[in-house]
Structure formats: C-alpha cells, structure tokens
Chains A and B, each alone.
Chain A
C-alpha cells in the first residue's frame, strides 16, 4: 500500500467522445458520487497524474495529442478507457476519421463498458487501475526494467 493507491491523481483527456462519457466522468467528481473520498484528485497537468482517463475513440488528428499526454505522465502509470468508443470505436468504428479504440495507440489497463458508462462503473474502473499502480511500483522496485511503451511524440507542431 502506498500513496499512489491511496490517492491516485487522474488526468482526463476527451479523445473523440460525444461528451456522454465526459459528463459522466465529471459527475464522479461531484457531491453525489464524490470520487475524492477515495483520495482521487482530478488534475489538469499530465505530469502530475498517475492515471489517464480517456473517453472516446482515437482519430487521426488527436492521436498525436493522446500520445503526448501519455508520454508526459511519470511511471508507474495506468490508463482507463471509457465507453464503447474507447474500447473499440463503438458506434463510430466505421467512421472514416476514426482509428479505433484507445488501445490502438497506447496500452490500456481497464476498459469501462457502456454507452455512456455509469459513474459507479467509472469509479470502479479507476480504482482497479489504482490497484495496478502498486503492482507496477513493486515490479520496478524488484528491478524489473521499465519499458517506455510510447516514445515522446517529438516537437510540438509549429503554429
């Protein structure tokens, strides 16, 4: 048991979502569900975060942003993909601009099913991911090599 499992910090990225998953995720933060009772803090900066919560499928334009956000997070880290779109692309899977589920781009630890998933399910997913953080830290302490699955996506695009 360590601070990461007791109080994981999460960052949320709306990848290609219809807002359904996002507002259910935000509902988790509010008084009725109050995810903060598990020590979960929602932060805006990926460098502060342990868990990345992604909603929606990946498209050609935001794939670079998603990789960047993931690469900026310090290890050990975990990823939660929300909704049917996050898992496979869902109803949007056949759209021309959709690449598919989040796991096409970054490794996903927990898929939360539903369209949109209920806040209870989202909280459960985040807590399962928090449990993984501990396992990963122990692996690292035991001398396991930490492999960066995603290389940083290089210089940001010129504006």
Chain B
C-alpha cells in the first residue's frame, strides 16, 4: 500500500556485518524514514569485570574489548594508570608504542576498506585490501608474536623491543604497503562505480557532526580538524600529526580521509623508526593506582576515553570506557533517514562501526 510504513529489522545476523548490530529501519517503500539501533548482542560487562581483576591483569581484559584496535585500548589504559602512579615511560618505549599504534591503524583501515568494498559489492577491492593487510599482520607477528592481539603494552613501558633487523623489516613492509596503496587509491578516489555508490551517500553537515559529537574520521570528513594525536601522548610530542580533513561529509569523504590517513600512518612509522632513541623499554611500576584520571587516545575510529578510578588497592574502583563508535552512533542515525534501503550497509560501514567496543 503506498504511503504505509513498515519496520525491517536489519541484523543482528547479516551477511554484510561482521558484528551483530541490529538496526530497526522504518521504511516508506524503499526509503528509510527512521532508524533505531537495538544493541546489546555483544555486551559482556567488561567494566564490571575490571573491578574484580587486578589492575595489571586488566591490560589483557581491555585488549579484548575490541580485537581490531586492541593495542590502543591497552595504550589508553596503561597511560591512565601511569598518570595515576606518576610513572615516566622511557623514550624508546614511547616510540615503540607509536610504531605499534600506527601499524594497528593501518591494519584497521585496510580492514575497513575491504568491508566497505564488500558492502557495495566490489569483491576484488575487498580481496586486494585484505591481501595488503596481511603484510601488516605479518610484521606485527614478527615483532610481537601475535597477529592481532599483541599484548605488548604494560604499565611503565612495553614488553618487547624491536631489533635493528626487524626495524628494517618494518620499513620494508610499509614501503610495500605504500606501493599497494598507490594501486588501490585511484580506485577509491576516481573510479566511476565507486563514486556512484559513495558520493552524496550518508551526508551530514559540519554543524550536525559537531553537535552530535562525532569523532575521528567521521568528524574529519566534515572538516572538523580534530585528531587526538595532536595532544602529544606517547611520542606524538616529537612526531607532529596534522589532522587530515575533507569537507564533503559523505561516505566518499570518509573514505578519502581514511585512505589519506594510511599514508600519514606510513609516514609516522618511518619517522618513528628513524628517530627512535636507544635505551630501556620499561620501568618497573610499584604500588597501586590511587585517584581518578581521564586518558584519551586516538584510535582508528576516533577518540577513546578511559576514566580510571583507583582507591590505593590493586583493584580499581571504577573503569569507564567511552569508545569512538558510541560517539559516532548518533551521527549514523542522522545519516540514515532519507536513504534507500540498499544504501544502508554502505552508510553503516562508512563510519567503520565497532560494536564490540561500543557494547563492551
């Protein structure tokens, strides 16, 4: 019947989503009128569990909030504990943290590129992106022993060093990745079919993005130059990061931001490998955290906020995590109304959702 509305539950088990997100879409014919997220399918209760475990054990727990950006979760947590315990991290460890952070960003963005390509049916781009990504995972395995969850961040530094020979391997990997990106970049930037699907899809204005509190590439694609690496945590004091911005505010602009960020990450890895000082990789941290602190780190999807409250015992009193996808959920709901049902997967994946982070 024309004009009547129907509600379609999109997910939780859906071929496009690797994660169980449910969107209840109110449709008028093929047009989305309203979208309501129904979350909770991956809620575990990690924040509560973190109060039961010791603060050193929590590192392994927060790494498993999200397997894609696990190192950054550990980094944000460790930085918070270090602030509470007044631990100064050795310089070499700060640079190593930057190297692993940027490798994580590279693999996360390539993963996103593959999933986005899959969402609009570009199977070969999906395969290409994931093929390039394996090189990053290989170097992560060579330097840490783990492909994805690498568990190298500890309170007071890092667990492992990267030797000279491996540093050369890291450089070789990013060189090869840059060559791969040179092939992929024109496809995303200029290809007619890709632009047909991405340009104008899921557009929000700069004001909307700001008012709804979007973070990371979603905000930067609307021209909001906000990147938390600018504040100079880890070795970002020495390695300057300029936020990459686009002005389109649509899925195409978000894709451009992420592709350009990959080049930026490659540059940062090169700088860090070049400038890394010699020295210790960790200091021993004694005592227990006391007081409260907010620790912020720029993840591939945006800014993560850790609120940590310690009471002088080995258990934390409270751990609160605000993840980037949670912040980007409100902008997502602003993007969906007005689009066609067939564009919903593209729009959802254009914000690079991480539901495991959001629901913890």
Q: In the complex, what residues of B have CB within 8 A of residue A46's CB?
A: 13
> Most chain-B Cβ atoms within 10 A of its Cβ — which of A16, A19, A69, A94?
A19
Q: How many Å from the CB of B138 to the closest CB on chain A?
A: 9
Report whether B42 and A16 are in contact in the complex, using a CB–CB cutoff of 8 Å. Answer: yes
A71 at the interface (CB under 8 A from B): no
How many pairs of A and B residues are in contact by the CB < 8 Å rule?
119
B46 at the interface (CB under 8 A from A): yes
Report whether B44 and A57 are in contact in the complex, using a CB–CB cutoff of 8 Å. Answer: yes
State which of B7, B18, B49 has its C-beta within 8 Å of the C-beta of A14. B18
State which of A12, A92, A96, A115 has its C-beta within 8 Å of the C-beta of B149. A115
Tell whether A31 pairs with B127 under 8 Å between CB atoms, given A19-B19, A20-B148: yes
A13 at the interface (CB under 8 A from B): yes
Report whether A65 and B67 are in contact in the complex, using a CB–CB cutoff of 8 Å. Answer: no
Q: In the complex, what residues of B have CB within 8 A of residue A57's CB?
A: 44
Q: How many Å from the CB of B40 to the closest CB on chain A?
A: 5
Report whether A31 and B20 are in contact in the complex, using a CB–CB cutoff of 8 Å. Answer: no
**Whose C-beta in chain A lies nearest to the C-beta of B24?**
A159
Q: Report how many residues on chain B are interfacial, defined by Cβ distance under 8 Å.
A: 43
Report whether A19 and B7 are in contact in the complex, using a CB–CB cutoff of 8 Å. Answer: no
Contact with B along A104-131 (1 / 0, CB 8 A): 0000000000011010000000000000
Contact with B along A50-65 (1 / 0, CB 8 A): 0000001101011001
Q: List 16 A-B contacts (CB under 8 A).
A: A17-B67, A18-B356, A19-B19, A19-B354, A20-B64, A20-B70, A20-B148, A27-B133, A27-B137, A30-B130, A59-B41, A59-B42, A62-B12, A62-B20, A95-B49, A96-B45
Could you list which residues of chain A lie within 8 angstroms of chain B, going by C-beta atoms?
12-24, 26-27, 30-32, 43-46, 56-57, 59, 61-62, 65, 69, 91-92, 94-98, 115-116, 118, 156, 159
